[in-house]
């Protein structure tokens, strides 16, 4: 097996390209696309929501596949699908084909973003995957730092279509080889055991833990999806200039990375649930400060960014701690679906609330969501529902 640092570094580069060419792509390309084609800007930006919904639909199957076969083939296929989808975007003659390209990109997202990468690390390193997951989020935190300037450079020199095709080439020439060469093949240690979990009814404690965790992630994903799109609008409505709003918004990224560094420096001394509780609490402080002017805007952004930063770690490490390494990949896939649906729909819901109820009401809604997430995470307990039991809730509410 390859050295641990080689695997994490390879996945880190993979994640930078995956995030930068999917979720973060419209931040730079949306306006040039709309201006060049005449397509409606909301429809152009809405491609990400289409991709997230497709990713959500695929996530449970992706998680189950990683649990049985490991993540190398899944990540490799994700790179191919991202490349294919980006090629369709770059060559699209009309809006329907453009949106069809996002359907393919969405499949690639479901096989190539954090959740499958975390599941792969859990499959490779078992209970020792926590530090690997933390380190991977440090790499992923630089996706916008690397890809936004790169995207802007490519748009200026080869246009938005050339940028999409260039990212497609990067996935084939960089991401695909990294997945195939650097990520070890993983085969489930006990396939028959995994199949037994698949058909066994979960205990009440397992179901309760899963649903609580899913609820926390849905609430936090809703907050993130709304704030990431409408933050500048929310800040400007509070009296900030556009330049100031952009400057405050730029503080979120460094705060995310800084909080992840602090978590890594802790070397796992705290239970992952402590990390999730801290993440949810920090996010709530940031949101409440914006809603009620409790702190300066800069401080609110630091709190929000720090909370969002370590939540990325907790969403990979808490399922590992609660359900054990054997069920980790499958549980991650099932948790991803409702969270990604929430993230996909949140920007549209936020736009409707802002339009019909105003910015103040939107901030109050965000505060209520943050408070609810604090309540739910406080109900999660450190004890393992089952050291290696997968809660089968396919016929449940999620």
Secondary structure (DSSP) of 202-263:
PPHHHHHHHHHHHHHHHHHHHHHHHHHHHHHHHHHHTT--HHHHHHHHTTHHHHHHHHHHHH
pLDDT at 281: 97
State the Cα–Cα distance between residues 265 and 245, nearest whole angstrom: 31
pLDDT tens-place values along the chain, 398 residues long? 568 889 999 999 999 999 999 988 888 888 899 999 999 888 888 898 899 999 999 999 999 899 888 899 999 999 999 999 999 999 999 999 999 999 999 999 999 998 899 989 988 888 788 889 889 988 988 888 788 889 989 999 999 999 999 999 999 999 999 999 998 886 544 433 343 334 344 567 888 899 999 999 999 999 998 988 788 888 888 888 888 888 888 888 889 889 988 888 877 678 889 999 999 999 999 999 999 999 999 999 999 999 999 998 898 889 988 888 888 888 988 998 999 999 889 888 888 898 899 999 999 999 999 999 999 999 987 654 544 445 544 433 33
* Contact residues for 16 (Cβ-Cβ < 8 A; gap 6+): 139, 140, 142, 143, 146, 147
pLDDT at 395: 38
Q: Which of 56, 62, 26, 60 is nearest to 43 (CA)?
A: 26
pLDDT at 372: 97
Q: What CATH architecture applies to the domain 203-379? A: Up-down Bundle (1.20)
Instruction: Answer yes or no: CATH 3.30.70.360 is held by domain 4-184.
Output: no
State the Cα–Cα distance between residues 152 and 283, nearest whole angstrom: 30
For the chain, the domains span 4-184, 203-379
Give residue for tokens 């200039």: 241
**CA triple 48-51-52, angle to 5 deg:** 90
Residue 352 buriedness (CB in 10 A; 0-12 / 13-18 / 19+)? exposed
Domains 4-184 and 203-379 belong to one CATH topology: yes
Backbone angles phi, psi at 202, to 5 degrees: -75, 155
pLDDT at 136: 92
Look at phi and psi of residue 186 and say left if phi exceeds 0, alpha if psi is from -120 to 50, else beta: beta
- Quick one: CA torsion of 46, 52, 54, 57, rounded to 10 degrees? -140
């Amino acid at each position: 097996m390859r050295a641990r640092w080689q695997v994490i570094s390879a996945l880190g580069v993979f994640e930078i390209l995956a995030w930068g060419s999917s979720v973060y792509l419209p931040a730079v390309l949306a306006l040039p696309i709309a201006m060049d084609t005449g397509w409606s800007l909301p429809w152009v930006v809405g491609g990400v929501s289409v991709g997230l919904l497709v990713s959500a639909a695929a996530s449970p199957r992706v998680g189950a596949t990683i649990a049985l076969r490991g993540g190398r083939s899944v990540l490799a296929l994700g790179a191919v699908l991202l490349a294919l989808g980006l090629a369709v975007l770059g060559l699209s003659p009309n809006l329907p084909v453009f949106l069809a390209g996002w359907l393919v990109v969405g499949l690639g997202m479901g096989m190539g973003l954090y959740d499958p990468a975390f599941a792969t690390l859990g499959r490779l390193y078992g209970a020792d995957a926590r530090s690997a997951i933390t380190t991977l989020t440090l790499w992923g935190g630089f996706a916008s730092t690397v890809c936004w300037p790169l995207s802007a450079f490519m748009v200026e020199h080869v246009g938005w279509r050339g940028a999409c095709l260039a990212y497609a080439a990067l996935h084939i020439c960089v991401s695909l080889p990294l997945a195939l060469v650097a990520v070890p093949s993983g085969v489930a240690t006990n396939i028959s055991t995994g199949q037994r979990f698949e058909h066994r009814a979960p205990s009440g404690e397992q179901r309760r833990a899963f649903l609580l965790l899913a609820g926390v992630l849905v609430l936090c994903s809703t907050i993130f999806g709304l704030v990431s799109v409408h933050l500048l609008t929310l800040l400007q409505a509070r009296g900030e200039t556009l330049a100031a709003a952009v400057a405050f918004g730029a503080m979120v990224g460094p705060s995310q990375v800084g909080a992840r560094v602090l978590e890594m420096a802790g070397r796992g001394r705290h239970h992952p649930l402590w990390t999730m509780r801290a993440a949810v609490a920090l996010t709530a402080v940031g949101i409440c400060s914006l809603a009620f002017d409790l702190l300066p805007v800069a401080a609110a952004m630091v709190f929000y960014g720090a909370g969002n930063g370590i939540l990325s770690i907790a969403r990979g490490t808490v399922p590992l701690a609660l359900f054990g390494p054997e069920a980790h990949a499958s549980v991650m896939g099932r948790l991803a679906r409702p969270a990604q649906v929430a993230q996909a729909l949140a920007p549209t819901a936020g736009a409707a609330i802002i339009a019909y109820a105003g910015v103040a009401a939107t901030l109050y809604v965000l505060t209520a969501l943050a408070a609810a997430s604090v309540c739910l995470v406080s109900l999660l307990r450190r004890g393992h529902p089952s050291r290696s039991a997968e809660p089968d809730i396919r016929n449940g509410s999620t």
